Structure 1
Amino acid sequence: MKFARERVAGWRRSVVCGIALAAVAGSLTACSPEPPGPESATAALAAALTSGDFSEVPFAGGEADVAAATAARTAAYEGLAPWEPAVKVVSTTVEGEEKDTAEVTLGYTWDVNASDADWTYETHARFARDEEDLWHATWSPSLLAPDLVDGEILTVQRLRAERANVLGAGGAVIVEPRTVHRLGIDKTQVAAPEQDAAARTLAGMLGIDPDTYAGSVTAAGEKAFVEAITIRDGDPAYDVRALAALPGVHDVVDTLPLAPSRRFARPILGSVGVATAEIIEKSDGAVVAGDLTGLSGLQRQYDAQLRGLPGLTVTASQPDGVAPRQLFSVDPTPGTPLTTTLDVRLQDAAESVLSTVTPASAVVAIRPSTGEVLAAASGTGGEGMSTATLGQFAPGSTFKVVSALALLRSGLTADSDTTCPATVSVDGRSFTNFPEYPTDKLGTVPLRTAFAYSCNTAFISARDTADQKALIAAAGSLGLDPKATLGFPGFLGDVPGDSDGTDHAASMIGQGRVLASPLGMATVAASVARGATVVPRLVLPAEETATPAPAPAVPLTAAEGATLHELMRGVVAEGGATFLQDVPGEEVAAKTGTAQFGPADNLQNHVWMVAIQGDLAVAVFVDVGEYGSTTAGPLLEQFLVAAQG
């Protein structure tokens, strides 16, 4: 502890005073310098109470007080971790005839949650100035919290806030508390020698690893309940009553935030469960052990909004809990609902369409007039991945919507002649049409015919008319922006900028290194239907903002959209999707797509279809199939029929 400045200041005052007296010898006037103030000492105390380092505080009891203060602060505040106070000097009143004592008010602020409801209070410190003009603080536990005495500690009790629901279009409730059954071994209900067998029997019935579960049961306390599985009430895959009747098995009825069904947009919505150690560590005290939090998907991304703020009560008491005193209390703040654009009926329809599809698959539906994502379903073949919004696949001939826009911007019209040979060679690589391409549509054909029948060679033959930069600009105009900010995890598409030769030729037909997601291709169809670039929206902000989505470098015009719509209508009227002519409702416009992938001796097909019907744009994708029209087509038709209600 160094307070040389105060000593030097006192010495200088004495010298100055002596010189002054000598200069006015014979005078009755005497020098009365102002004594030093306690500002440096009070600031050191405030800083120490904030940081916990009292080594620079001038305590009256010296090192003994430093040790006592350090120990008392550590013990008193341990139960409030990871919170730390911010302490400042509020006021200082110097007292006494010699102005050698001071009363200091210290202001505390604890940032206890994300709201403005900080915990604030004041404590008071006593300071005294010694003969050397140094100020010393008197240590007391009451410096830490109001009326705190030796041995008292502070603890916090939390009351969980009500987690908010996830809503869909029109305010429909999607995720809300639903009844679940937590099944596991209750070690108080089965004798110790039989616990291992009971655990293995339950694990076998549930299809989980028996060694792992039995080990967990053995390692748990002698009165523990060791959960094996959580099952939603009414799940037809499990006979809860029969499982609960097994030896040692206990059924704990509880609630969890769940969607209407296990499959309902699960990869997007995510799940809720007990917070993991990683989540707790990254939360800076907002989440503690035992809290329910979002574990994945939107539930994780928007967890802070959904979970709200817990109620908090801070008490001071002896370590054994005797004579608690309440120092602070705040009620829980319920979470704020997360509003999505998902239409419950259409999402259910999309999930049903994919229910029997084995490979990874997706159905995405967008309302072109608003960009709202009405459905985004991913089949079980994706193994939990949101194929609909995160999949990255070659879009095949559905990308010809983009290529056609680039060609139109180069000066072609729907009636402009194109060359559609049986094969075309680029730098030694041959490109062909799909095997069933009609021979009477080869040769010189209008762009509308090449589009309707999906002539690969026509688009590749026109590659010099639309370079890679033109394709990138057209893709951006139709919503395939690789850098789009969506407000949810999503990928739209990406067109490489360094393609030429065979790679550029492949880009013209949506292969090579061109990538898109089902969400991205639904956005392309939606942009055509709207006649303007669409940015998909799946999550609506809790508070609407006026910030518009960034415009593409080259916006899509209404005239361009109309021409592309006309080309897509030709696919249904005469081309590869005539099976959609009898879909009820407004006329359908569409585009088929097939993209080969894999080794040359084992080529497989990504299959696609995109469609427009009124104010609805849809993309259907199956990872491995025959052709867009034969594999994705029937799925698209089923969805469009279901969408009509």
Structure 2
Amino acid sequence: MPAADVTSSSRAHRRPRPRTLGAAALSLALVVGGLTACGAEDTAQDDAEALATKIAEGLVDGDFTGVAFSDASPAEAAEAHAAIVAAVADAPHTVEVTDVVLDEEKTSGTASFAHTWDVSGIPWTYSTEAPLAVFEESWESQWDPALVVEGLVSDETLQLSRTMAPRADILGAGDTPIVTERPVRRVGVDKTRVEATELDATARTLAGLAQIDADAYAAKVAAAGEKAFVDAVTLRTEDPSYDFDAMAAIPGVLLVDATLPLAPTRDFAAPVLGRAGEATAEIVEESEGTIAAGDVTGLSGLQRQYDEQLRGTPGIALEAVSEARGARVLLDQAAVPGEPLRTTLDVGVQQLAEDTLVGQTVPSAIVAIRPSTGEVLASASGTAGGGVSTATTGMYAPGSTFKIVTSLALLRSGLTADSPLDCSAEAVVDGRAFVNYPDYPAGKIGQIPLTDVIANSCNTALINASGQVTQADLASAGEALGLGLAQQAGPGVFTGSVPADAEGTEHAASMIGQGQVQASPMAMATVAASVAAGTTVRPTLLAQEVDPVESDLPEAPAAPLTADEAAQLSAFMRAVVTDGGGSFLQDVPGEPVGAKTGTAQYGDGSTNHAWMIAVQGDLAVAVFVETGDYGSTTAGPLLEAFLDGLA
């Protein structure tokens, strides 16, 4: 570690003199004193202080080289010191020389030390003293365990025990527990209970039942020690997809009952919530002593992001222990339970979103927001995404769902719902031809009002109108609907990106949600929520006060959405259902639905992202499927099923 500044205090009439010591071998902080003397007494005082400084160094790093003890060699002192502090050897420790007082003859005296430890986040302070004396014109001290720890005697060593604090729950709307302690079974092979010749077969049989890689687990068992219990997998006790009785019947296999903080199901909001488990070596190292091997910590998602809040503070018991005297308590701190993390997720709505996505073979997502508050009720990502939070971090061209943004920009340019636009069979910009989707209704070709353009999703009409708004106008309209704003605290969210500078074909493509325009399902649900709320919405997934997220993105739009603008956009979305591509939503129970379909070509242009956004009362929804046919035919049925399920 780098050298530390050396400070201390001496008798009041002496002027402090700073001194710098070298790095401590155990990377522990060291603060010692630069004590001064005056006149003819300088040499004796300085020599005594130098010895005190070396003792202080040794009390931190265990190296007493250069320290003269009358009753022990430096090596013997180092060995005794190491045995005493072994239990707290990794804990940060500082030592300050607070005083060096000599007798009148300047041949003996006492050095005083102030010790400060950080034992798993708990401060431990005390003072010790060392006798100093001149022997054959050199200063020396005496070795004593009480120099290391106040009151310690020769046969005592330190013993540290930790008690994990109860890990707090992650709660949903109405403080409904989402992640809470649930029963699990640790399944593995106890190598003491099976013959060595049978180990490989045992491991492979268990791997088959546990649905894990047989070769990898057999190798893990073979490499473990002769008396090891080798974990195979930890499973939910109630999981019906595993035959626990068959596992237990295998000779040498043990099933150990335990609990872990888990969501209702394995897939429930998994990419957002993350998971907790035994701390990795990296987490232990980064914790600087607050987390120990074997502790349960957050490993990903919100579990990791808010681990300090959730895990609480472990209980600490530090004792001086000897065979003859037993144990006496030096430091005792009860465990402090973690604090629950409150989220806005509605358990029923989230589960419905998860169930709706079952069977999707490509990444997919459903996001539901309460527009009046911005609360995220559901953030579901299909399992085909491989654990990635498609709902919050996916970056995709939003296609025609972006036409809500485009229509806002056109309204701000002076157009009205009745303004006629040219919905031609083809629109050409800088030599690139843009066309409408196959089966576009022939009756909606030609001069049609803006309402019909949005309801029927006419690409060419908006391409032909691209000269009426700039790319900056599109970016401003996107911000007004929540795109590209700084995210709220919580899990990472891609809030969308609408370049403010683009011309020609890039600007034309932006008009229909392609080109360089990108959004996540959360971002497009925010667009719908802003329309429903009548003001710019910034979605939140946490229902508690937390520090804001540092971001270079704006917190609010430069030109916020107005209630009148939102009312017109809401009418456009309703027209999609009454007169356009979302007519299948007319029979959804409950309040009237407004929607917008979206299809965005990607790759070589032969494959499509399928989107749909919708509003119904105080609900905004975005549905996304990475590869599909069209928004209405691929995302549409999922949206309909989701809204029906909420009815």
TM-score, scaled to structure 1: 0.87
1:77 paired residue among 71, 85, 91: 85
**Are the counterparts in 1 of residues 488 and 538 from structure 2 also a CA contact under 8 Å?**
no
| Whole-Å separation in 2 of the counterparts to 1:591 and 1:545 | 32
1:519 deviation in Å?
A: 0.7
Describe the superposition over 1:334-375 as per-residue Cα deviations: whole angstroms up to 9, x where unpaired.
111111110001001101111122221110001111111100
How far is the alpha carbon of 1:396 from its aligned partner?
A: 0.5
Q: Give the corresponding residue for 1:295.
A: 299
Alpha-carbon distance between aligned partners in 1 of 2:41 and 2:88, rounded to the nearest angstrom: 47
| Partners of 1:470 and 1:96 in 2: CA distance | 84
Secondary structure of 2:618's counterpart equals coil
- 1:596 aligns with 601
**Change beyond 3 A, Cα 1:550–1:47:** farther
Which residue in the other structure is 1:120 paired with?
A: 125
Residue correspondence of structure 1 range 164-243 to structure 2 within 5 A: 164-243=168-247
What amino acid maps onto 1:448 in structure 2?
A: T
The CA deviation string for residues 595-630 of structure 1, in whole angstroms up to 9 with x for no partner, is: 011224xx1110000011111110000111111111
Contact 2:368 2:376 in 1 (8 A): yes
* Aligned equivalents of 1:62, 1:113: Cα separation in 2: 35
1:249 aligns with 2:253: yes
Aligned position for 2:560: 555
Q: Deviations over 1:409-465 (max 9, x none)?
A: 222222222221111011111001111211211211111111111111111111122
Distance in 2 of aligned mates of 1:218 and 1:6 = 60
Hey, what does 2:264 align to over in structure 1? 260
Alignment of 1:406-485 (within 5 A): 406-481=409-484, 483-485=486-488
Match of residue 640, structure 1, among 640, 643, 647: 643
- Match 2:337 to one of 334, 338, 346: 334
Q: Could you tell me whether the CA contact under 8 Å between 1:492 and 1:519 is conserved in 2? A: yes
Q: What is the SS of the residue equivalent to 1:228?
A: strand
* Aligned counterpart for 1:574 among listed residues 556, 575, 579: 579
In structure 2, C-alpha distance between the alignment counterparts of 1:608 and 1:108, rounded to whole Å: 63
Which amino acid in the other structure matches residue 236 of structure 1? P
CA contact (8 A) 2:64 2:78 kept: yes
Task: Provide, for residues 112-147 of structure 1, a one-character-per-residue CA deviation record: whole Å limited to 9, x for no partner.
Answer: 244xx4112222233457998x97655433221112
Shift of 1:183: 2.1
| 8 Å contact kept, 1:421–1:442 | yes
SS at match of 1:236: coil
More deviation, 296-305/548-557: 548-557
Alpha-carbon offset, residue 236 of structure 1: 2.1
Distance 2:538 2:398 in 1: 19
Query: CA-to-partner distance for each residue in 1:539-560, whole Å, 9 max, x for gaps?
Result: 2346699999922233222222
Q: How does 1:126-145 map to 2 (within 5 A)?
A: 126-128=131-133, 138-145=142-149
Per-residue CA deviation, residues 208-229 of structure 1 (Å, 9 max, x unaligned), is 2222212222222333322222
**What is the SS of the residue equivalent to 1:474?**
helix
After superposition, the Cα gap between the structure-2 partners of 1:530 and 1:137, relative to the gap in structure 1 and judged at 3 Å, is: farther
Aligned partners of 1:564, 1:470: CA distance in 2, in Å? Answer: 16
Q: What does residue 617 of structure 1 align with?
A: 620
- Give 1:639 deviation, angstroms: 1.1
In 2: Cα distance, 1:462 partner to 1:52 partner: 78
Shift of 1:274: 1.5
3-state DSSP of counterpart to 2:596: strand
Deviations 1:152-179 (A, max 9, x none): 5433211111111110001000111111
Residue ranges of structure 1 left out of the alignment (5+ in a row): 15-33
Where 1:78 maps in the other structure, the secondary structure is: helix
Compute the displacement of 1:520 (Å).
Answer: 0.7
Instruction: Report if the CA contact (8 A) 2:72-2:143 is conserved.
Output: no
Paired residues of 1:610 and 1:619 also in contact (CA < 8 A):
yes
Q: Which of the residues 272, 275, 295 maps onto 2:279?
A: 275
Q: 1:209 is matched by which residue type in structure 2?
A: D
Contact (CA 8 Å) 1:275, 1:295: kept in 2 or not? yes
**CA 51–540 in structure 1, closer or farther in 2 if over 3 Å, else same:** farther
Greater displacement, 72-81 / 388-397: 72-81
Q: Deviations over 1:302-348 (max 9, x none)?
A: 11211111111122346x89844432111111111111110001001
Contact 2:36 2:45 in 1 (8 A): no
Distance verdict in 2 for CA 1:243–1:427, change over 3 Å: same
Query: Residue 435 of structure 1: SS of its match in structure 2?
Result: coil
Kindly indicate whether residue 399 of structure 2 is the aligned counterpart of residue 396 of structure 1.
yes
Judge conservation of contact 1:357–1:381 (CA < 8 Å) in 2: yes
Counterpart of 1:540 in structure 2: which amino acid? A
What CA distance in whole angstroms lies between the structure 2 residues aligned with 1:547 and 1:289?
32
For the 8 Å contact 2:60–2:93, the answer to whether it is kept is yes
Secondary structure in structure 2 of the residue aligned to 1:188: helix
| Alignment correspondent of 2:350 | 347
Change in Cα spacing, 1:311 to 1:505, as seen in structure 2 (3 Å) is same
User: Secondary structure at the residue paired with 2:639?
Assistant: helix
Mapped contact 2:184–2:234 kept (Cα < 8 A): yes
- Between the aligned partners of 1:53 and 1:308, the Cα distance in structure 2 is 36
Which secondary structure state, in structure 1, belongs to the residue aligned with residue 88 of structure 2?
coil
Shift of 1:11: 5.0
State the Cα distance separating 1:44 from its structure 2 match.
6.1
Cα distance, 1:452–1:283 mapped onto 2, change above 3 Å:
same
Q: How many Å apart are 1:48 and its aligned residue?
A: 5.3
1:174–1:344 contact (8 Å) kept in structure 2: yes
Kept in 2: contact 1:403–1:474 (CA 8 A): yes
Structure 2 match to 1:162: 166
Q: In the alignment, is residue 368 of structure 1 matched against residue 355 of structure 2? A: no
Which residue pairs with 2:630 in the alignment? 627
Tell me what 1:24 maps to.
Answer: none
Secondary structure of the residue aligned to 2:586 is helix
| 1:582 counterpart SS class | coil
Larger Rg: 1
SS of the equivalent of 1:185 reads strand
Q: What is the match of residue 583 of structure 1?
A: 588
One-letter identity of the residue aligned with 2:113 = L
User: Percent identity among equivalent residues?
Assistant: 53
RMSD: 3.2
**Aligned equivalents of 2:70 and 2:427: distance in 1?**
92
Contact preservation (8 Å) 1:342, 1:538:
yes
- Tell me what 1:108 maps to: 115
SS state at 1:630 partner = helix
Q: Which amino acid letter does the alignment assign opposite residue 78 of structure 1?
A: A
